[in-house]
Amino acid sequence: MKGGSEYENAEKGYKQARLGVAETPPDKLRYKLTVMYGQINGATRALEDVRARQKDVREAAQKKIEQLRQEYLEMKALIDASEASSTRKIKEEEKRVSSKFDNIYQILLKKKAEMQTVKEEIEAALTKGGEFEFLEKAAQLQAVSTKPVYVPKVELNHELIKGVSQSTADLKTELKRCLRKPEEPLTSEEEKKPKKVPAAAVSPNKLPIFGSSEQLGDLKQAGFEAAAKPTPVQPNSVSLKAKVLENFLAKSRPELLAYAVKVILDYNTAYSKVALSENYTVASVAETHQSYRPHPQRFTYCSQVLGLHCYKKGIHYWEVELQKNNFCGMGICYGSMARQGPESRLGRNCASWCVEWFNNKISAWHNNVEKILPTTKATRVGVLLNCDHGFVIFFAVALDRIHVMYKYKEDFTEALYPAFWVFSTGATLSICSA
């Protein structure tokens, strides 16, 4: 029996060895099963984490794409405004020269008619009448001037055309330089050229272009000061300021338009229900909140928006058309004006000046002090800001006739932004192209 038992045990061990299975206690298998459950749960959590992180990456990328889209829209609006300004200058020059040609044409037409009349009279004198009548007519015709036709030299202002073209070329060169890939080396000629901002990028009528949204954001944060037309004198006394103010109060609309600037609305300041359109030149009240991203300069309480560029020196003029002139307003403010709470409303603080339509009432507001103004049927308002001599004037504009609505005299201490308030549905403010 002993021998048989050993034989059976050996056979059993042989079979287990062939199957590759070692005898394992049940407790060890249960422990192994627990470990496997834990690993499977860990793998499940890892899979969920991968999908969640993938979703976060997708959402972050989409958010950044939307931000870039808005920034590029702003830059496109700047380019469009620059193109419109340059085109307007060329058209104005063409109109000036064409008008002179029209005058010359009318003078020549009159001169030709006079010469035709003299010719006919001479022909009549040679064929009709007696000797006495002929001599009398000849004496009269002898005194008539027969000078040859003179056409004065009239041509385009080539210096102006050249300046506009050069500014555009400089702008394009600067844009190419900003957009060039970092790894792309400059040519030897380009390295020698000084890297300067073109004149077009600092003129109030030629808006700046920058190569990235970061540059644009830095510019806004720094408070970009738009260059202004030079004034003949600098303010040095109260009497001089008063004289300059009196002079501007008496100016005609064409004279004010000489100081016109292109105002573009700043997307990053617009209240969530202020809709911007027409290349950021029209502000209206939307039915629903717009998908604006958070920004420290955005108004969160009042339905307002600021201009993109600020002015710290010089003289600047812009006009605004009111489509529905109730519950809206316009003016100027410091960049430091509050963006939250009731004190952020135009005219309700010491950092803003405005005129406002509230139903049928028109008021001027500054530092929370109201001044009731006479009513006007004009639907266009002109704003004249003189930073150098410290005043802002609001004009009611009807065709080429204007009258003063209100004026503020102030020693401005910060850069100033055009500012706008639209409250009721249907109220629309449109920046006019001068």
Residue 214 and residue 237 in one domain = no
Domain that holds residue 155: 75-184+210-222
Over range 80-90, report the average pLDDT.
Answer: 82
The whole-angstrom separation of Cα 209 and Cα 88 is: 19
- Mean of per-residue pLDDT scores for the chain: 80
* 43, part of any domain: no
Match 């040859």 to its residue by tokens: 148
Q: Give the pLDDT confidence score for residue 119 in this predicted structure.
A: 75
Which of 222, 250, 270 marks a domain boundary? 222
Residue 316 and residue 419 in one domain = yes
Strand partners, 216: none
Match 């059993």 to its residue by tokens: 12
Q: Give the pLDDT confidence score for residue 134 in this predicted structure.
A: 64
User: What radius of gyration, in Å, describes the C-alpha atoms of the chain?
Assistant: 39
* 21, part of any domain: no
User: pLDDT at residue 197 above 90?
Assistant: no
Over range 196-207, report the average pLDDT.
Answer: 41
* 95, part of any domain: yes
Q: Give the pLDDT confidence score for residue 412 in this predicted structure.
A: 95
The whole-angstrom separation of Cα 200 and Cα 226 is: 11
Q: Give the pLDDT confidence score for residue 158 in this predicted structure.
A: 85
User: pLDDT at residue 416 above 90?
Assistant: yes
CATH number of the domain where residue 420 is located: 2.60.120.920
Q: Which helix (H) or strand (E) holds 101?
A: helix 26-127
Q: Give the pLDDT confidence score for residue 132 in this predicted structure.
A: 62
The whole-angstrom separation of Cα 221 and Cα 288 is: 28
Q: Give the pLDDT confidence score for residue 419 in this predicted structure.
A: 98
- Burial of 394-407, coded b for 16+ CB within 10 Å and e otherwise, reads bbbbeeeebeebbb
* 36, part of any domain: no
Residue 281 and residue 402 in one domain = yes
Over range 67-83, report the average pLDDT.
Answer: 78
pLDDT tens, residue by residue, 142-152:
666 666 767 78
Residue 106 and residue 241 in one domain = no
The alpha carbon of 118 is separated from its chain's Cα centroid by a whole number of angstroms, namely: 61
CB-side neighbour CA atoms (13 Å) of 30: 3
* 55, part of any domain: no
The whole-angstrom separation of Cα 329 and Cα 38 is: 66
Contact 322, 405 (CB under 8 A): no
User: pLDDT at residue 318 above 90?
Assistant: yes
Phi, psi of 207 (to 5 degrees): -80, 155
User: pLDDT at residue 222 above 80?
Assistant: no
User: pLDDT at residue 18 above 60?
Assistant: no
Of 257, 368, 278, give the one whose Cα is nearest residue 323. Answer: 278
The model's pTM is 0.49
Residue 215 and residue 232 in one domain = no
pLDDT tens, residue by residue, 239-256:
788 889 999 999 999 999
The whole-angstrom separation of Cα 125 and Cα 83 is: 62
Residue 291 and residue 214 in one domain = no
pLDDT above 90 as % of the chain: 41
Residue 332 and residue 421 in one domain = yes
Match 């997708």 to its residue by tokens: 58
Assign 220 a pLDDT band (cuts: 50, 70, 90).
very low
Residue 230 and residue 371 in one domain = yes
Residue 128 and residue 248 in one domain = no
* 37, part of any domain: no
Over range 167-192, report the average pLDDT.
Answer: 68
Contact 335, 223 (CB under 8 A): yes
The whole-angstrom separation of Cα 306 and Cα 42 is: 53
* 46, part of any domain: no
Compare 424 and 247 and report the one with higher pLDDT. 247
Over range 150-176, report the average pLDDT.
Answer: 84
What are 381's two structure tokens? 């308002």
User: pLDDT at residue 177 above 60?
Assistant: yes
Q: Give the pLDDT confidence score for residue 414 in this predicted structure.
A: 94
Q: Give the pLDDT confidence score for residue 187 in this predicted structure.
A: 52
User: pLDDT at residue 233 above 80?
Assistant: no
Residue 259 and residue 345 in one domain = yes
Q: Give the pLDDT confidence score for residue 308 in this predicted structure.
A: 93
User: pLDDT at residue 368 above 90?
Assistant: yes
The whole-angstrom separation of Cα 210 and Cα 78 is: 10
Q: Give the pLDDT confidence score for residue 128 in this predicted structure.
A: 63
Residue 248 and residue 159 in one domain = no
What are 391's two structure tokens? 């005043």
**Tally of structural domains, the chain:** 2
pLDDT above 70 as % of the chain: 75
Residue 323 and residue 351 in one domain = yes
* 299, part of any domain: yes
Work out whether the CA dihedral 97, 98, 99, 104 comes out positive or negative: positive
Q: Which whole-number Å values give the CA distances from 168 to 86, 87, 130, 236, 324, in the listed order?
A: 8, 11, 73, 37, 37
Phi, psi of 314 (to 5 degrees): 90, -170
Over range 33-54, report the average pLDDT.
Answer: 90
